[in-house]
A and B are shown apart, each in its own frame.
Chain A
């Protein structure tokens, strides 16, 4: 199993550009989520999905869209990038929504918005 994969690993955007961060998992996990990590802020939840066709907002959803058309894929879209979105983005998955389910993270995408 590859686990959770993310592409690209690095990206530089100009303000106003759009892009999609890709995330895929091959563990047949129902739950997937996106976090952003900023210095001193820990990991903050952007959006999550409890299954194909179902998505919901996390702590910091503004400026981001998601969709979940398949169990495997959970892309994150930035419609109009802003410098405040410079961050490291992690995709994660869990088998389900149980409180004791542990989370598996992808390697991350390091995004810089100029």
Chain B
């Protein structure tokens, strides 16, 4: 069935290095959302991508949606200690019209000062 795989599971970077996490789906996605969860916290919405090939930026964060709408990525330029946390992608699935959000397994980012 439809499943979104997220890689890598863990990433350790030196402060100032770049970071990228990827989400890949076996089926075409209608749209994809990205969330960030700080250690000990709860997931917080970051951004949503809807259009094929869409690219959105939030300061040092760049989000991309693949041309075939089967993959997405989040890239952080020059990481800072405030970027620490787990990043999740999530896709809505039309079950009984509810469009429940299903989350990838997440990428846990550690930034070494």
Contact = CB atoms under 8 A, between A and B. Distances in A.
Interface of A: 31, 33, 35, 40-45, 48, 50, 56, 58-59, 90, 92, 97-108
Given A102-B33, A108-B42, A56 B96 contact: yes
Interface residues of B, number: 29
Contacts of A42: 6, 88, 103-106
Nearest to A40: B105
Interface in B75-113: 88, 90, 92, 94-106
Contacts of A106: 42
A100 B45 contact: no
Contact of B44 (A31, A41, A105): A105
Contacts of B66: none
A97 B105 contact: no
Contacts of B73: none
Contacts of B94: 99
15 contacts: A40-B105, A42-B103, A45-B100, A45-B102, A48-B98, A90-B42, A97-B99, A99-B92, A100-B48, A100-B50, A102-B45, A103-B90, A104-B45, A105-B43, A107-B41
A35 B35 CA distance: 14
Contact of A33 (B30, B45, B100): B100
A48 B78 CA distance: 39
B9 interface: yes
B39 to A, nearest CB: 12
B46 to A, nearest CB: 10
B5 to A, nearest CB: 11
B20 interface: no
Contacts of B97: 50, 97
Contacts of A43: 43, 88, 103
B13 to A, nearest CB: 20
A42 B94 CA distance: 20
A45 B102 CA distance: 7
B18 to A, nearest CB: 24
A58 B100 contact: yes
B52 interface: no
